[in-house]
Chain A
Amino acid sequence: MEFNITIGLEVHVQLKTATKIFCGCKYFFGATPNTLVCPVCLGLPGALPVLNKKAVDLAIKIALSLGAQIQERSVFARKNYFYPDLPKGYQISQFEYPLAIGGELPLTDNPKKKIRIKRLHLEEDAGKLLHELPGGIKSSDSLVDFNRCGVPLVEIVTEPDISSPQEANDFLQTLHQMLIYTQTSEASLEKGSLRCDANVSISPSHSSKLGVKTEIKNLNSFKFLQKALEYEIDRQVEVIRSGGQVIQETRRFDARTGKTYPMRTKEEAHDYRYFPEPDLPPLEITNQRIKEIAMTLPELPWQKRTRFVNHYSMTYNDAVILTSFRELAIYCENVLRKAGKIEHKKIVNWLKTEFIKELRNYKDFKYAPSEANLVKLLQLIETGRISHTAAKEIFEKMWGNNTKDPEQLAKEMKLLQIKDTTTIEEWVNEVISSYPQQIEDYRKGKKKIIGFLIGKVMKLSGGQADPRLVRELLSKKLNSN
C-alpha cells in the first residue's frame, strides 16, 4: 500500500526587539535566571501590558515577506492554561482575529512549489522549565526561569501543503533565510529564537480523506525536524499496515534515540477558553503603516535567485549558493557588475568555489578582500598575466584584512607570468641543449615528450613563464631544425 504524506508546520519566531512585547524588560539568551522580569511579565496583580510597537512592525514585515494580508483589525486574546512556566495563568496571544492571514513561501529546492500560509499572529513567549539541576544533576522537582516570559513571538502556521520530511526541512531553511535577510529575527534554532512543531498524517494514496495526525513538539534543528518526521511517518505506516489506527496525540522527539514518544493524548483536548484580552484594545493597522514597512523590505532570497538566474545567466543551483545570505549575495552581485567584460560564468565559478572556500575558513565576511580587489584579480587571470593556479595562491593572501592590490601581491610572490619571448627563448634553448636524448626521441615521432620539456622550461622560469608561449616557442624550435 502506498501512502500520501501530509505535513503542516507551526513555527515560532522570536522577534528582534530590545524589549519584551508588553513590558520594557530586556531579554537576551543566557542571562542569569529570573533577572529580566517585572510585574507585567510576572503577571503580578494590577500590572498592565503595553504593546511594543517594534514587535508589531517586525511582525508586519514578516507577514509582508510571505505575501500575507495584514488585517486592518486584529484582537489579542487570553489563552488559559495552568503550567508553571506561565505565571499569569494565561498567555496573551491572538486567536479569532490574527494579525495576518494567507500568503505563501516558495521552497528553495523546488521553487515551483509554494507552501501556503494559513495565518500569522503575535503572542508572548512563556518561561523556561528545567527538569534537571544546573550541571545536569537529576532533580525530583522542576525549576522555573521566567526571563523568557513575555518575549515577542510570531507564530506562523502553514497549510498542510508539505508532502515530505525533506520539504519540511526546505520550508524551515527558506523561512530561516528570509528572517535573516529581513533582519526580523535572530532565527537561531540553538538559542530557541526559531522553534518548530510539525503535524503529520498519512493516508492511502487512493483515498482523498486525510489520515489522523500527530503533532511533534519542539523540533529545534533542521536535521531533527527531518529525522523526527521520517521516523514518525515510518511509525504511522507500520501502525496502519499491522491493522491498527493512528491516535491523535502530541509526541516528542528524542534526538538520542531518533524516535518520537507520546506526550499527552489530545482526547483530553486542551480547552484554552480563549477570550478577548480586556487589557488591550484591538490592534488597528493603517494602510500608511503597511506601506511604510513595505518600503523597508529588502529583495527576498527567492526574488534574488530568480533575478540572478535571469540577469547573470547563472544556473539556479549557483544562484542558490550565491544568495545563501544577504551579504554574500550583495558582494557577488557587485563583483559581477564591476567585472566588465569577464564572462559571468567564470566569475560565478570563482565565487562559488574559491571565494566560498576561503569564507568557510575565515567564517566572517569582514576578512574578505574588497570587491574591487577581487575584480582586479579576475582581470589578471583574464588578461593572462597570472595563471589560474597562481591566482588561487594570491587570493588566499588577499584574505584577513589584507588591502594589498593583487597585482602588487603577484609581483611580490613572483607569480606574474613572463611573456617576454626573448627570456623564454633563452630557457627553451637551455632545455634543448640539456636533454639531447629527449629531443631526438621527439623528432623520431614521440611527440608526447613535449610535455616533459615544457615542464623543464617552466621549472627554469620558476613557474612564471606563460605556458602557452612556452609550448609555442618550444614546438617551433623542435620542428624547425
Chain B
Amino acid sequence: MGFTIKDIAYIAKLARLELSEDEIEQFSSELSKVVDYFNQLALFEEEEKEIKTLPSVLERDDNISVSLSQEIVLSLFPSRIDNFLVVPKVRKEE
C-alpha cells in the first residue's frame, strides 16, 4: 500500500508530530512497508471464519475501590496550581 507525502503529512498532523520534509519522505515508504506487513493478516481470512466470536466482555460489580493518593497524582503533574494540572491555554474559540 502506497502512502503519499500528503497522507503522511496529514497523519503527522493528527498525531501532533512535527516532521521535516525529509522525514515525511522517509516515512511514506517506511509506513507503507509496515502496513503491507499487516496485510499478511488478510491471508488468514478464511481460517478466521472458523474461529468462534470472542467471548463477551467481562463486567464487574459497581463496587468502589481506592483511588490514587493525592500525593501520587500531584507528583505526576509537571506543573500545577493548587490541585490542578496546569497546561498551556487551550484555544477556546477563534
Q: State the total of A-B contacts with C-beta under 8 angstroms.
A: 129
List B3-32 residues whose CB lies under 8 Å from chain A: 14, 16
User: What are 19 pairs between A and B in contact, CB < 8 Å?
Assistant: A18-B63, A24-B66, A32-B70, A34-B84, A38-B68, A39-B68, A52-B60, A52-B62, A53-B59, A55-B62, A56-B59, A131-B92, A139-B89, A142-B90, A144-B84, A145-B83, A262-B93, A263-B93, A282-B53
Known: A34-B70, A281-B55. Is A271-B14 also a contact (CB below 8 A)?
yes
For A33, list chain B residues within 8 Å (CB): 82-84
Contact with A along B77-88 (1 / 0, CB 8 A): 100011111111
B60–A143 touching, CB < 8 Å: no
Complex Cα distance, B73 from A313, in Å, reads 60
A24–B58 touching, CB < 8 Å: no
- Cβ of B56 under 8 Å from chain A: yes
Distance in Å: Cβ of A29 to nearest Cβ of chain B: 16
A82–B16 touching, CB < 8 Å: yes
| Contact residues of B: prevailing secondary structure | loop
Q: How large is the interface on B (under 10, 10 to 19, 20 to 34, 35 or more residues)?
A: 35 or more
B67–A25 touching, CB < 8 Å: yes
A54–B62 touching, CB < 8 Å: yes
Complex Cα distance, B70 from A36, in Å, reads 9
A261–B60 touching, CB < 8 Å: no
B81–A142 touching, CB < 8 Å: no
- For A82, A141, A273, the residue with the greatest tally of chain B CB atoms inside 10 Å of its CB is A141
- Cβ of A51 under 8 Å from chain B: yes
Known: A32-B70, A82-B16. Is A146-B85 also a contact (CB below 8 A)?
yes
- Cβ of A344 under 8 Å from chain B: no
- Cβ of B94 under 8 Å from chain A: yes
Which residues of B does A touch, CB under 8 Å? 14, 16, 53-68, 70, 73-74, 76-77, 81-90, 92-94
For B90, list chain A residues within 8 Å (CB): 83-84, 129, 131, 142
- Cβ of A46 under 8 Å from chain B: no
Complex Cα distance, B59 from A50, in Å, reads 6
Known: A53-B60, A281-B57. Is A143-B67 also a contact (CB below 8 A)?
no
- Cβ of A37 under 8 Å from chain B: yes
A51–B67 touching, CB < 8 Å: no
For A143, list chain B residues within 8 Å (CB): 81, 84-87
For B73, list chain A residues within 8 Å (CB): 34-35, 37, 42, 146
- Cβ of A264 under 8 Å from chain B: yes
Distance in Å: Cβ of A253 to nearest Cβ of chain B: 12
For B60, list chain A residues within 8 Å (CB): 24, 50-53
Complex Cα distance, B91 from A263, in Å, reads 9
For B83, list chain A residues within 8 Å (CB): 32-35, 145
Known: A37-B73, A52-B60, A134-B82. Is A19-B65 also a contact (CB below 8 A)?
yes
Contact of B56 among A23, A39, A142, A282 (CB under 8 A): A282
Complex Cα distance, B85 from A153, in Å, reads 24
